[in-house]
Amino acid sequence: MKNLRETITRVPIVPPKSNREERKELLQESIDKYLGAIETQIGDLKKVGKNALVIGGIIVAVYAITELLLPEGKEEMQENEPLSIAEPEPEKVKEGDSLLWGALKGAATSVLLAVAKEKLLELIDHLTTKDAEATS
């Protein structure tokens, strides 16, 4: 956001002896300046909010897709069970799971994560640029 000094609009001091119409015009100008500053700040907040919603939506979509497509993990062992060393069983191929399907799932996850990463980097860059402008 902008520096506080930049956002404060200077209101001209009107001597009480001036005529009513001049004072009314000066006050209307100051109202217009304040409205412009407020609209600018609201526009900036809308952009940041929109970016945050897009990033959040992408993250939720990636999570949902990975939960639906990836196989569930093995159940955790209970603490009371003794550890047994057994030879690993060969992986069983489920119906519908193929090498192509696995590759598609991996590619979709990679693409969605890359898009989310780019959006996050854009948001961070935007926020740091705004912060740098505010401090200078």
Reported as a single tens digit per residue, the pLDDT across 96-129 is 567 777 778 888 888 888 888 888 888 888 888 8
Tokens for 90, please give them.
């060969």
44 closest CA partner among 118, 128, 126? 126
Specify the pLDDT at position 76.
56
Q: Give residue limits of the domains in the chain.
A: 4-71+100-135
Specify the pLDDT at position 13.
61
Spatial neighbors of 3 by CB under 8 A, at least 6 apart, are 133, 134, 135
3-state secondary structure 71-123: CCCCCCCCCCCCCCCCCCCCCCCCCCCCHHHHHHHHHHHHHHHHHHHHHHHHH
Q: Would the pTM of this model clear 0.75, i.e. be above it?
A: no
72 closest CA partner among 49, 99, 94, 56? 94
